[in-house]
Amino acid sequence: MKLFKRRAKPDGGTPAASPTEAIDGASTDEVEPGQMSDTSSVDSTIQSGVEQAGDSEPMAAPAGMFGRVRDGLSRSRSQITDGLATLVLGKKQLDPALMEALEEQLIMADLGLEATHRVLELLRQRLDRKALGEEETVMSALKETLTELLAEQQKPLDIIAHQPFVILVVGVNGAGKTTTIGKLASRLKKDGKSVMLAAGDTFRAAAVDQLKVWGERSNVDVISNQSKNADPAAVVFDAINSAKKRNVDLLLVDTAGRLQTKNNLMDELAKIKKIIDKKAPDAIVESLLVLDASQGQNGLKQAKSFAKSADLSGAIITKLDGTSRGGVSLAVSEEVNLPIRFIGAGEGIKDLRPFNSYEFVEAMLADK
């Protein structure tokens, strides 16, 4: 069952499905507008927790973020490159033994079966009847192949002049959705867009306050409902009303972390989407899945499950500055056909960048 259906752009761009019909178990007749609150004082603990994301933080140089991504991808790099020189030594051409060894290393680097097999096929084409010579020959071909495959899904978020433009941010607990929304809001605001945030994560303790701190950092209003057990759909109801009244360009909606196997929580997303359809039938809706890069193949499983129930339009790979498994990016790109919109590496408000396949592969396979 698809929950999020991408709508056609007014200028005749990306075709999309018709408005979502009523979804079983997702009635919204009882939803009433919640109490709207743009900003309020926040707990000092929450404040200090994101203090480093403030305007006082110097803008990280591209090399700085590249360095963090490179360091974070050290695990993937070692899985792919360790022993490559030994495998290639004495080989004049690709042979079954070498291909089998490469296959094992790529799978261990979390590329997944489908992506690994495609990489090997392209490698075979590039190196067919060529003298391998040394490790650099195979490494160069591998870089070219990975860059080529990832470039297919290097599709920046296309923000067109249409109101309202809604970005739903979904994912499992702990993936970094709220932090990513804060970074994205700051980036869009600096691009000259008017932005509003909807605190739809009413389940996690302190999630609303955390989002408000990010809103204050970017001078962006946050619509929330402080009532206990507030209905996320009611928060979105209020946010859409406010966004339309203020002619806001983009509405970013935070959602509660949910396991992709929990049908009741996935139904909650359906309810939110139904509210958007009802209150803003002409809205363009982007549904972005936030994936923790350290999850490896679990991230691929999440992407597959969310893709079945939520009409995803892109992914954001986070926590690349940690002990990350960069191969999952290629696995998601190849097996789920999901564009990678952004990558995150760091807790600062500026530590979010559009995905670039060349830079990513260079970081993943950088010289030690």
What's the topology of domain 44-57+158-364? Rossmann fold (3.40.50)
Which uninterrupted H or E stretch holds 330? helix 327-335
Instruction: Give the whole-angstrom CA distance, residue 325 versus residue 297.
Output: 9
pLDDT tens-digit profile of 127-146?
Answer: 876 666 556 678 888 899 99
According to DSSP, the β-strands at 340-344 and 352-354 are: antiparallel
Q: Which CATH class is domain 74-151?
A: mainly alpha
Asked if 62 and 305 touch (Cβ cutoff 8 Å), the reply is no
Whole-number pLDDT of residue 26: 35
Judge whether residue 182 has pLDDT over 80.
yes
At 42, the pLDDT band (50, 70, 90 cuts) reads very low
Determine what percent of the chain is predicted with pLDDT higher than 70. 73
User: How many angstroms separate the CA atoms of 205 and 27, rounded?
Assistant: 26
Is-same-fold flag (44-57+158-364; 74-151)?
no
Residue 105 has pLDDT above 50, yes or no: yes
Q: How far apart are CA 297 and CA 328, in angstroms?
A: 6
When comparing pLDDT for 337 and 261, which is higher?
337
Q: Is residue 303's pLDDT more than 60? A: yes
Closest CA to 334 of 122, 127, 180: 122
Annotated domain spans of the chain? 44-57+158-364, 74-151
Assign 198 to helix, strand or coil: strand
Closest CA to 308 of 280, 286, 330, 337: 337
Report whether pLDDT(70) > 60.
yes
- Confidence (pTM): 0.77
pLDDT for 327-360, tens place per residue?
888 888 888 989 999 999 888 888 899 999 999 8
Residue 298: per-residue pLDDT: 85
Q: Residue 99's pLDDT band (boundaries 50, 70, 90)?
A: confident
Given this model, what pLDDT does residue 305 score?
A: 84
Residue 3, pLDDT > 80, answer: no
State residue 11's pLDDT score. 42
Residue 4 has pLDDT above 60, yes or no: no
pLDDT digits (tens, 9 = 90+) for 219-247: 999 999 877 778 999 999 999 999 999 99
